[in-house]
Structure 1
Amino acid sequence: MPSTARIGAALVAAIIGLVTALVVAPPASAQEDYRRGPDPTLESVSAPSGTFATDEVDVQPGHGFNGGKIYYPTDTSLGTWGAVAVVPGYTAKWDDEGAWMGHWIASFGFVVIGIDTNSPQDWDDARGDQLLAALDYLTQDSPVADRVDPDRLGVMGHSMGGGGAVNAATKRPDLQAAVPFAPASFSQDLSGVQVPTLVMGAEDDGVITPGDLDRLYASLPAGTPGAYVQLAGGGHGFPTYGNTDVTRLTIPWLKIFIDNDTRYTQFLCPEMADPSGISRYENTCPYDPLA
């Protein structure tokens, strides 16, 4: 009987331990470091491309959005990649406004899907829905679905597309990162956002003004990792061309929160490593994606 009692006690302890582990253990994506590429430098995050060769594939209209293009690293030796869906601004086409960043982001170790909207006049909430539809297509039905980690996803967008990124982050809190550029977020604020969010604007933007973004960023909940970057120039169109002030901040944000790569926190915390071209910077440092 004593032996039976000991076995029973051990079994109960094992069950309790298993249940405790299941309850308290964060998801794998929050525990693991998915670092890709060599140790970063200021020069590397400002470069027009990263270290990975890339390719692209067209996406036909359907799937909840109006088609677009996927960009992806060709390396298959490192497992799956994190991914980002990107949408352009009001009345804009992906090829005209956002395509420059497709291969650029992919070359740093991400799969990118850039989309066109069902209507050029779609509002921010519709663009948010289409960003999420693009991520679902990318991870489930696209030709590169087997290259994408469905647990490490982000959204980006410019102007009305930036408002779409805010909307998508509000609707899907398990995203890892959001980067709204000069977001026209007319039908919402950041108060419901739990996704780490980098808001970027320009001091001389007369469309989405610094005051607009001040109010938007002020609504970010205290517990949500965030940053607000105001460029010294560039106007409303600052993210529509190869702007290194954009690239050297966006890549670290995606790396930190999608890849859990803490090597990149040095560029944003405790202050910006290179403040040139920046007129204002606010942050919620420290950033600890592995916490």
Structure 2
Amino acid sequence: MRPGAAQHYLLPRHRHRPSGRTSTVTRARRLRAPLAAALLAAALPALAQPAGAADNPYARGPEPTTASVEAARGPFAVAQTSVSRYAVSGFGGGTVYYPTTTTAGTFGAVAVSPGYTARQSSIAWLGPRLASQGFVVITIDTLSTYDQPASRGDQLRAALAYLTQRSSVRARIDPTRLAVVGHSMGGGGALEAAKDDPSLQAAVPLTGWNLDKTWPEVRTPTLVIGAEDDGVAPVRSHSEPFYASLPATLDKAYLELRGAGHLAPTVSNTTIATYTLSWLKRFVDDDLRYDRFLCPAPATSTAIAEYRSTCPY
């Protein structure tokens, strides 16, 4: 960690837990002893479940492990369908990846944008990887490969609108749990989308590029991933000021890939996938089981040059 990098610890936010709810144990204490004992015995299996799973209607998949978050594929079988640019408006079409199960409830949805001059093939690896962990994912083509970040932000939002309103998998999606991810100008677009739509639950710019370096308007939990040897969007002029300018009270983190360049997110990358997945699980699914992969801050390693976080988990 670089000198001066700080970690801040805030109280956890449990969106799905009504405030002031009385626990099973507290209620039991108010009953007669025999009945209280019976209630506690009945409640023990539920209480023994991992925090964030037992009472979270959004949790999907089994108890996560280091192996599971690093795996190339998760527990859900995945199908995919192509979306023609001529069948949509506001973005250039793409590919939808989705869990095939119809019995696990609805899923959060994620739109992913490529970078400048690139097509969806450059970030396609994220589609099945995230979908197999319990998300509906659309990797998009942009209207023009030269579109700037503000336009890419609009296109990410248009893709999410398509997913939730018109796509063939819309019934599988919870429209209140949406996120954006993007590479390079697509990463700058993810910040633009989060600025314009505070209802988004998570944003992950990957080696992001944007002429705008300050993002105090963002209210969406944001994971900024930069690359130590990025010569196109150097971290000192892009990812680091992006992170620093996000509100201090925001759930946010900054991860710098050691020895990596600007194109690191365009090929399968375990570190990018692990932390992107954990961030989406934590803030789109409110899944507290993924806290331990994000906080306390992971140590620097052969893969991570630096990690900063407000660590609200």
Structure 2 length as normaliser, TM-score?
0.80
1:269 maps to 295
Q: Give how far 1:189 is off.
A: 2.5
Q: Deviations over 1:201-252 (max 9, x none)?
A: 1111111112022222110101210000001022101111111011111110
Partner of residue 157 from structure 2, selected from 132, 142, 159: 132
Say whether the 8 Å CA contact 2:300–2:306 is kept in structure 1: no
Amino acid at match of 2:241: R
Say whether the 8 Å CA contact 1:167–1:188 is kept in structure 2: no
Say whether the 8 Å CA contact 1:267–1:274 is kept in structure 2: no
Q: Deviations over 1:139-164 (max 9, x none)?
A: 00001010000000000000000000
Say whether the 8 Å CA contact 2:213–2:245 is kept in structure 1: no
2:103 maps to 77
2:142 maps to 117
Q: Give how far 1:27 is off.
A: 11
2:214 matched to 1:189?
yes
1:15 maps to none
Say whether the 8 Å CA contact 1:117–1:127 is kept in structure 2: yes
1:105 maps to 130
Say whether the 8 Å CA contact 2:231–2:261 is kept in structure 1: yes
Partner of residue 258 from structure 1, selected from 284, 303, 313: 284
Q: What secondary structure does 1:161 align onto?
A: helix
Matched residues in 2 for 1:270 and 1:285: separation?
Answer: 7
Q: Deviations over 1:86-137 (max 9, x none)?
A: 0000010002x01111111100000001110111110000000000000000
Partner of residue 232 from structure 2, selected from 182, 198, 207: 207
2:235 matched to 1:227?
no
Indicate the RMSD between aligned Cα atoms, in angstroms.
1.7
5+ long unaligned stretches in structure 1: 1-25
Q: What secondary structure does 1:245 align onto?
A: helix
1:41 maps to 65
Amino acid at match of 1:55: A
Q: Give how far 1:279 is off.
A: 0.6
Q: What secondary structure does 1:210 align onto?
A: coil
Matched residues in 2 for 1:33 and 1:228: separation?
Answer: 29
2:225 matched to 1:177?
no
Partner of residue 78 from structure 2, selected from 26, 49, 54: 54
Matched residues in 2 for 1:30 and 1:170: separation?
Answer: 26
Partner of residue 249 from structure 1, selected from 257, 275, 295: 275
5+ long unaligned stretches in structure 2: 1-12, 19-55
Q: Give how far 1:43 is off.
A: 1.1
Matched residues in 1 for 2:208 and 2:259: separation?
Answer: 16
Partner of residue 168 from structure 1, selected from 182, 193, 197: 193
Say whether the 8 Å CA contact 2:195–2:219 is kept in structure 1: yes
Say whether the 8 Å CA contact 1:182–1:236 is kept in structure 2: yes
1:9 maps to none
Say whether the 8 Å CA contact 1:91–1:120 is kept in structure 2: yes
Distance 1:42 1:274, change over 3 A: farther
Q: Give how far 1:38 is off.
A: 1.0
Q: Percent identity?
A: 52
Matched residues in 2 for 1:107 and 1:195: separation?
Answer: 24
Structure 1 length as normaliser, TM-score?
0.86
Matched residues in 2 for 1:113 and 1:136: separation?
Answer: 11
Matched residues in 2 for 1:276 and 1:155: separation?
Answer: 28
Matched residues in 2 for 1:57 and 1:28: separation?
Answer: 32
Q: Deviations over 1:20-55 (max 9, x none)?
A: xxxxxx997676441111111111111111010000
Distance 1:263 1:58, change over 3 A: same
Distance 1:273 1:35, change over 3 A: farther
Say whether the 8 Å CA contact 2:111–2:138 is kept in structure 1: yes
2:89 maps to 63
Matched residues in 2 for 1:255 and 1:33: separation?
Answer: 13
Higher helix share: 1
2:265 maps to 239
